Amino acid sequence: MRAAHRFTFILSAVLAALTAACDAGPAERSAGIGAAPPRASPEADMRTDAAGAPRGFQTADNARTAAADSAAPRMLIRTGDASLEVPVLEPAVEAVRRLASQAGGFVANTSYRGGRDQVREASLELRIPADRFEATQQGLDSIGEVEWVNVAVQDVGEEYVDLAARRANSQRLETRLVELLATRTGKLEDVLAVERELARVREEIERYEGRLRFLRTRVATSTLTVRLHEPAPVIGGRGGGGVIGEAFRQAWRNFVSAVAALIASSGILIPLGVVAAGIWFVARRVQRRSSHARPNKEDPIER
């Protein structure tokens, strides 16, 4: 009897253990129970995120900074300025135009300057695709002697993201106002107030979209201003004589200018001289008359 009870107890315990194992098996397999957890290497433990904080110790500020850095696109506006010395101006200008056309761009503004005593020069403003900016800049070496090149880069990615977010918020507000205006059955003043607010929001959306289009255009197209000038004559320039000849010509021009100024001032000096001579003549006559009208007193002792 005792053996039967003992056998029954053992059988009940085995069945209970099997039942528990069957119930817990799927959960343990799904959770990975019974398998040793993977051990991370020391290098993996010391990895840092984009904000510079170790993983596992990333703060909320670092997380927001990393998210903002990953969301902001790299939108660069390149503006360049170059100066070249060329033997002859006209062929160099045509070469710059061909260079801009080969890059898929165009010449926006052109200006020339030159005169009788000035070195001839020209300035061309090129609008070229951003991905061809470096190639166009390097192509200037084949046109003339590059004196200097300045390139300025402005990153407008943060401004673009901010404007896009503002536009999205305004568009959501516009949708709410349209729905409110469609279901509004109150007073006329309330309807007019909603319409005024809707007009203001739409104006903001148009302003944001215009600025976004402008930024996209400036990012896609770079600006390169090329200044060309001929070499300054030292000896035997176009006028002949070089620097010394120009000095003699300037001296002659100064002499002619002085004579011209003297002739022009004669219209004032001659009348003033006539008036001064008349005053002097009248003063002399008055002095002579006064000297003749004075009586001569003789000394009685001599008489």
Distance of CA 31 to the CA centre of its chain: 58
Q: Report how far residue 195's alpha carbon sits from residue 30's, in angstroms, rounded to the nearest whole number.
A: 58
Q: Which residues contact 274 (CB under 8 A, 6 or more apart)?
A: none
Among 48, 77, 89, residue whose Cα is nearest residue 155:
77
Helix or strand or coil: residue 72?
Answer: coil
Q: What per-residue confidence (pLDDT) applies to 150? A: 94
The CATH classification number of 76-155 equals 3.30.70
Tokens of 231: 């070499």
Sheet of 145-155, strand order? 106-115, 118-129, 221-229, 76-85, 145-155
Q: What per-residue confidence (pLDDT) applies to 184? A: 72
Q: Report how far residue 155's alpha carbon sits from residue 26's, in angstroms, rounded to the nearest whole number.
A: 55
Beta partners for residue 125, in sequence order: 109, 225
**pLDDT, tens digit only, all 303 positions of the chain:** 444 444 444 445 444 444 444 444 443 433 333 334 344 443 333 333 433 333 333 444 444 444 444 455 688 999 999 999 999 999 999 999 999 999 999 999 999 988 776 789 999 999 999 999 999 999 999 999 999 999 999 999 999 999 999 999 999 999 999 988 888 777 888 888 888 999 999 999 999 999 999 999 999 999 999 999 998 765 544 445 556 777 888 888 888 888 888 888 877 878 888 888 888 888 888 887 777 666 555 544 444
Cα dist. 147→22, 79, 198 in Å? 85, 17, 56
Q: Phi and psi at residue 164, in whole multiples of 5°? A: -65, -40
Q: What per-residue confidence (pLDDT) applies to 206? A: 96
Helix or strand or coil: residue 260?
Answer: helix
Burial 185-211, CB ≥16 within 10 A → b, else e: eeeeeeeeebeeebeebbebbeebeeb
First to last CA, the chain: 204
Q: What per-residue confidence (pLDDT) applies to 225? A: 95
**131 contacts 220 by C-beta, under 8 angstroms:** no
Amino acid letter at 55?
R
Q: What per-residue confidence (pLDDT) applies to 130? A: 93
For the chain, the farthest-separated pair of C-alpha atoms sits apart, in whole angstroms, at: 204
**77 contacts 108 by C-beta, under 8 angstroms:** no
Domain ranges in the chain are 76-155, 158-218, 238-265
